[in-house]
Amino acid sequence: MALQRVQMLLDPRQRQKLAKLAQSQGKSIAEITRQAIDAGLEQLERNNRKTQLETTLQAAQQLRDSMPMLEIDVVADIRQMREERDDELSSRD
């Protein structure tokens, strides 16, 4: 992977934390910074996907709420269909 040089300003607290992490992990500050950026980008992508899913779910809920409810008694309808079928079969005999 070809790296590109980037210049950025850090406050002293950030620089100190990066240096401490780099030393404890035996890595360079640049490597720790790249890892932190990668982790942050992944989190932003997850948050973006989550937001998109939540928006889609809200739209689906609004659509569902706007649709009239059908007043169907499924059990009664199945019972009636069975009775009609039984009557049809018994009338063939």
Distance CA 56, CA 53 (A): 5
Q: What's the pLDDT tens digit per position in 27-38?
A: 999 999 999 999
Distance CA 8, CA 34 (A): 12
Q: Residue 34 in contact with residue 21, Cβ under 8 Å?
A: no
Q: Considering the entire predicted model, what is its pTM? A: 0.60
Q: What's the pLDDT tens digit per position in 45-60?
A: 999 999 999 999 999 9
